[in-house]
Amino acid sequence: MRSEQQVEAALKSYEDVDSWKTIIFLYNAALKEVGTKLEILNDEFQHVHQYNPIEHIESRLKTDESITRKLIRKGKEITVENIQKYIDDIAGVRVICSFTPDIYRIVDMISSQDDIEVLKTKDYMLNPKVNGYRSYHLIVRVPIFLSDRVVPTKVEIQIRTVAQDFWATLEHKMHYKFEGDGPDYITKELRECARYVAELDTRMEELNNEIQKYGKLSDKK
């Protein structure tokens, strides 16, 4: 109950605070910055290799309430400074690929950008979570150029395949439906489905490789 009161009090205090509005403005600008950069990189890849590693890009900003709750869970005072310091995923970009190798191509492209600072990485492809979740996460910092200054701002980037995204969407629904404590049989079934998804990704990648080989042989005839 105390945390609920803290959330309500914090949200009321944010209503007309210019610094809070500025923070949201900066994170929204960071989403646009990263999204545009990814679209350009994808277009360049198509231009050079006649192939798009990115199927589509999604973005989102955490709500005021979600940000506040996360600070409370971390045991931190609810201030604008703490928001910037302790929360990495206020601005989130999700990149959906066709195949697993595309994930690492995109990671390499992002990491090689001079104006993107990679702060943290988590490879859940090589080390899946206990529930079966697979993805690649990066926390990056990008410069936001304002009229009178440059403000480095953090963005979380999640990269996964179409199949992994389908699985993660269902797992996310279950997590919030049951507040993180879903029935054992559903949790077990989802974990098993995660294994099927990994196998499907591998088989689809192998099929794609065969298709590409066939195309190259046809070109030589």
What domains sit in the chain, N to C, each tagged with a CATH number? 2-162 (3.30.460.10)
pLDDT of residue 150: 93
pLDDT of residue 107: 97
What's the whole-number average pLDDT of the chain? 88
pLDDT of residue 218: 54
* pTM of the entire predicted model: 0.86
pLDDT of residue 5: 56
Q: pLDDT tens for residues 148-186? A: 899 999 999 999 999 999 999 999 888 777 766 778 888
Given a cut of 50, the residues of the chain with pLDDT beneath it are 1-2, 7, 10-11, 14-17
pLDDT of residue 8: 52
DSSP per-residue string spanning the chain: -HHHHHHHHHHHHHTT-HHHHHHHHHHHHHHHHHHHHHHHHHHHHHHHHS--SEEEEEEEE--HHHHHHHHHHTT----HHHHHHH-S-SEEEEEEESSHHHHHHHHHHHHT-TT-EEEEEEETTTS--TT----EEEEEEEEEE-SS-EEEEEEEEEEEEHHHHHHHHHHHHHHHHTTT---HHHHHHHHHHHHHHHHHHHHHHHHHHHHHHHHHHHHH-
